[in-house]
């Protein structure tokens, strides 16, 4: 559903008269295949709905309907039946009228659950506070395995852990035979997923990460000639975790060196950068390990509307794990010392505060009695466990939207925090709700502005951009080794880093402008990528902006990662690239193809270019309803080969990168090459509306129209008025969701 169809409300009166006769024709010729109300039937199970204009729908019916005698419904009959079904159930407005959107009952998504647990327990610990420095605290001491503070002779800030003393020592006071090294601080994980921690050293080593009691890597005792030790750990993105490394050189070791490396999700192994290391200690975080079933994405975005037995069982298992962790840490979390006279009151007070933080609002006396007070008789550990499990399994914790008739200030606080962070409100936001500062748009805007710089916001926006660009489809970029010997895993990993640097630059830079996604002529390259894609960089150069020229590079549209990802192992793929542009940038929706079609092998047509081969394959009329749009969009990107390098010829023939598209208003637009396509997309209101809608759905996880029928159009106008600033749009989206009331008959057609 799209906001750019809203002006068609004006058409409804004009088509109503013709619709009466059209209904008779529809029931006679169409209902048997498409259902009495366009709901679908056995022959055509899909609902009869789409995004064609009334004029294009009429032309389509004249040419193709009815299926058993195409072309027999013409002239006035075609106009009348088109008017009827357009007004009754086909158009956006008809679908909106027949099935009004509403803010849906919604549970925590898997991501929201894990982040909420982290912040729920984190609210009872002293938060870590960056001091502006990067690196780890490095300490060096004489002696054996156990590091002794009193014998420390060198204490410094190491930007990275990458030392190689050979047969020497860190300091003159330390004997070469035996000494200890320790690095402490924290490590920042930018993305969620499985990280592989690697320590390259010939010496004994231990690594503690996020659990300061049990080492992730325990290799004080080494065997054989093992040069590196490694372990994997799951981390949430946008979070900072405590880290400690201890290593020692024994008399048996000829040399001493230590290098701390990691392999982040979908990256290659490399040194942990200084930017991801902090010399201050952050508290440990409880990353719930319980496997949850995937969240529903049937509407194109992740949402928590589906509650299954599997999800309920996972939530129960997770609650048990959280409760066990709290019980093990009750002294540090609740200040309840074993045997202390005030232990009962401290645990009861902790239970009350735990429930309030989980429920995102103060408890009523009745709630406090039900969830907390009535359990604190007898065994105190059991009492605390009952409270924790009751709270963690309560809908007040598990559901972000409960369908309240009149959202209050605490509901607004939750919508803001879950919108930006996918997590609970912090203390400041709850205080703002309590003080009534979220009762006005200005108060909401102030809190959003305060929370925007948080790493959790950046992590969530980056994950949205990854989803927008369909990076989850790019798991295996293996290329034909004979044709592209220079394309390997290291190049693929560098391309992912390159894309993220570009996305962060455009999103969070001072001149944040969405249009630069589709217009910029620069790309982030390092020495390795420059060898493949051009750019005058010496070998070993770090990443930097490199302009490849307006023809050879057009923002994300021709970024080598996307060009290589949406291609085959030896050839480009105009179909995959065209689908990316149509779906992600223009927001068009396509029905699945009626039959699975095997692509024509290039070997069967060795003289044909990719464009010629795809045109031949999609010639049948059954293909053209979709490929007449998809193919021309992909053809505009044919100057880029299977690894995303610019080219001007294929099979000895000049590349034909011309293409065209019909706008939703029925106007043809022609372009030649990626630059002209990018310029069209950058200025297209259809592109802007699609980006606004997709961003809203990802951040809020609710239908945008349920927040006001004019909300998409209003956000699109604000987006344009703000110079297409992405940060401002994120803030406006979250503010709109915070202020919204549930969709009812009374609010239908109104924006809150």
* pLDDT, average across residues 104-121: 95
- Compute the Cα dihedral for 490, 494, 495, 497 and give only its sign: positive
Residues with Cβ within 8 Å of 44's Cβ and at least 6 positions away in sequence, in order, are 33, 34
What does 594-640 look like in DSSP terms, one character per residue? SS--PPPPGGGSTTS-HHHHHHHHT-SHHHHHHHHHHHHHHHTTTTB
Render pLDDT for 590-644 as a digit per residue (tens, 0 to 9): 766 666 566 767 777 788 999 999 888 877 666 666 777 888 999 999 999 999 9
**Residue 19 confidence (pLDDT):** 53
| Burial per residue of 98-115, b for 16 or more beta-carbon CB atoms within 10 angstroms, e otherwise | eebbbbbebbbbbbbbbb
Instruction: Grade residue 559 by pLDDT with cuts at 50, 70 and 90.
Output: very high
**Residue 11 confidence (pLDDT):** 36
Render pLDDT for 197-243 as a digit per residue (tens, 0 to 9): 999 999 999 999 999 999 999 998 865 577 899 999 999 999 999 99
CA angle 526, 531, 534 (to 5 degrees): 85
* Alpha carbons 303 and 390: distance in angstroms, whole number: 24
Q: Which of 427, 435, 447, 451 is nearest to 122 (CA)?
A: 427
Percent of the chain at pLDDT above 90?
A: 67
Could you tell me which residue, 403 or 465, shows the higher pLDDT? Answer: 465
Q: Are 637 and 580 in contact (CB under 8 A)?
A: no
Render pLDDT for 639-694 as a digit per residue (tens, 0 to 9): 999 999 999 999 999 999 999 998 877 788 999 999 999 999 999 999 999 999 99
Q: Are 469 and 507 in contact (CB under 8 A)?
A: no
* Alpha carbons 437 and 440: distance in angstroms, whole number: 7
**Helix (H, G, I), strand (E, B), or coil: what is residue 578?**
helix
Instruction: Grade residue 5 by pLDDT with cuts at 50, 70 and 90.
Output: very low
Q: Compute CA 542 distance to the chain's CA centroid, rounded to the nearest angstrom.
A: 26
Q: Are 416 and 734 in contact (CB under 8 A)?
A: yes
* Alpha carbons 140 and 676: distance in angstroms, whole number: 59
Listed by start position, the domains of the chain span: 3-98, 108-124+291-450, 136-278, 468-683
Render pLDDT for 363-396 as a digit per residue (tens, 0 to 9): 999 999 999 999 998 899 999 999 999 999 999 9
Which contiguous run of DSSP H or E holds residue 742? Answer: none
3-98 and 136-278: identical CATH topology: no
Helices 309-328 and 380-392: crossing angle in degrees, nearest 10, is 140
Q: What is the CATH number of domain 3-98?
A: 1.10.760.10
Q: What is the CATH number of domain 136-278?
A: 3.90.182.10
What are 653's strand-pairing partners?
Answer: 650
Provide the greatest CA pair distance for the chain: 99
Pairing verdict, β 154-158 and 136-142: antiparallel
Q: Which of 398, 382, 207, 255 is nearest to 319 (CA)?
A: 398
**Residue 752 confidence (pLDDT):** 31
């Amino acid at each position: 559903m799209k906001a750019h169809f809203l002006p068609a409300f004006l058409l409804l009166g004009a088509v109503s008269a013709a619709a009466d006769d059209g209904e008779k024709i529809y029931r006679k010729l169409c209902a048997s295949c498409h259902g009495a109300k366009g709901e679908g039937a056995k022959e055509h199970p899909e609902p009869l709905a789409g995004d064609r204009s009334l004029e294009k729908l009429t032309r389509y019916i004249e040419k193709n309907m009815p299926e058993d005698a195409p072309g027999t419904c013409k002239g006035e009959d075609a106009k009348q039946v088109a008017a009827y079904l357009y007004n009754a159930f086909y158009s956006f407005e008809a679908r909106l009228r027949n099935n009004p959107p509403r803010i849906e009952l919604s549970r925590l998504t898997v991501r929201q659950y894990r982040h909420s647990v982290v912040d729920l327990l984190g609210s009872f610990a002293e938060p870590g506070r960056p001091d502006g420095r990067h690196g780890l605290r490095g300490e060096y001491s004489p002696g054996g395995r156990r590091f002794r503070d009193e014998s420390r002779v060198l204490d410094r800030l190491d930007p990275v852990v990458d030392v190689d003393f050979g047969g020497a020592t860190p300091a003159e006071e330390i004997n070469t035979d035996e000494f200890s090294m320790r690095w402490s601080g924290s490590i920042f994980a930018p993305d969620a997923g499985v990280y592989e921690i690697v320590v390259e050293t010939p010496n004994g080593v231990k690594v503690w990460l996020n659990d300061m009691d049990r080492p992730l890597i325990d290799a004080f005792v080494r065997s054989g000639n093992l040069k590196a030790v490694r372990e994997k750990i799951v981390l949430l993105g946008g979070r900072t975790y405590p880290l400690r490394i201890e290593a020692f050189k024994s008399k048996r070791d000829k040399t001493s060196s230590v290098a701390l490396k990691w392999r982040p999700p979908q990256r290659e192994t490399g040194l942990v950068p200084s930017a991801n290391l902090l010399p201050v200690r952050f508290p440990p975080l409880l990353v719930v390990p319980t496997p949850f079933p995937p969240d529903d994405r049937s509407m194109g975005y992740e949402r928590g509307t589906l509650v299954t037995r599997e999800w309920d069982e996972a939530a129960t298992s997770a609650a048990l794990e959280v409760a066990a962790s709290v019980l093990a840490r009750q002294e540090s979390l609740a200040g309840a010392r074993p045997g202390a006279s005030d232990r009962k009151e401290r645990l009861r007070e902790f239970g009350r505060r735990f429930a309030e933080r989980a429920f995102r609002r103060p408890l009523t006396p009745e709630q406090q009695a039900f969830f907390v007070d009535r359990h604190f008789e007898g065994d105190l550990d059991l009492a605390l466990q009952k409270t924790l499990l009751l709270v963690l399994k309560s809908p007040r914790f598990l559901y972000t939207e409960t369908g309240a008739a009149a959202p209050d200030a605490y509901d607004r606080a939750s919508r803001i925090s879950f919108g930006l962070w996918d997590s609970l409100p912090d203390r400041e936001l709850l205080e703002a709700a309590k003080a009534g500062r979220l009762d006005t748009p200005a108060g909401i805007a102030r809190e959003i502005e305060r929370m925007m710089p948080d790493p959790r916001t950046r992590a969530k926006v980056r994950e949205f951009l990854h989803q927008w660009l369909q990076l989850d489809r790019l798991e295996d970029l293996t290329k034909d080794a004979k044709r592209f010997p220079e394309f390997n895993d290291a190049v693929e990993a560098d391309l992912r880093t390159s894309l993220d640097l570009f996305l962060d630059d455009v999103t969070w830079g001072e001149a944040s402008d969405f249009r630069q996604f589709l217009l910029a002529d620069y790309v982030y390259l390092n020495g390795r990528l420059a060898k493949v894609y051009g750019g005058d960089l010496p070998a070993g150069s770090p990443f930097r902006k490199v302009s490849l020229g307006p023809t050879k590079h057009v923002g994300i549209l021709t970024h080598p990662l996307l060009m290589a990802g949406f291609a085959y192992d030896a050839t480009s793929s105009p179909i995959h690239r065209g689908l990316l542009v149509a779906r992600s940038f223009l927001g068009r929706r396509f029905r699945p193809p009626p039959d699975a079609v095997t692509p024509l092998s290039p070997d069967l047509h060795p003289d044909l270019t990719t464009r010629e081969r795809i045109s031949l394959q999609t010639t049948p009329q059954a293909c053209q309803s979709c490929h007449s749009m998809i193919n021309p969009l992909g053809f505009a990107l044919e100057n880029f080969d299977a690894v995303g390098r610019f080219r001007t010829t294929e099979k000895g023939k000049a590349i034909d990168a011309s293409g065209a598209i019909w706008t939703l208003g029925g106007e043809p637009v022609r372009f030649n090459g990626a630059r002209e396509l990018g310029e069209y997309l950058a200025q297209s209101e259809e592109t802007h509306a699609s980006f606004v809608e997709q961003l809203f759905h990802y951040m809020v996880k609710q239908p945008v129209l349920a927040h006001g029928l004019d909300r998409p159009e209003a956000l699109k106008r604000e987006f344009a008025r703000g110079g297409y600033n992405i940060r401002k749009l994120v803030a406006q989206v979250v503010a709109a969701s915070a202020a919204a009331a549930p969709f009812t008959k009374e609010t239908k057609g109104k924006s809150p």
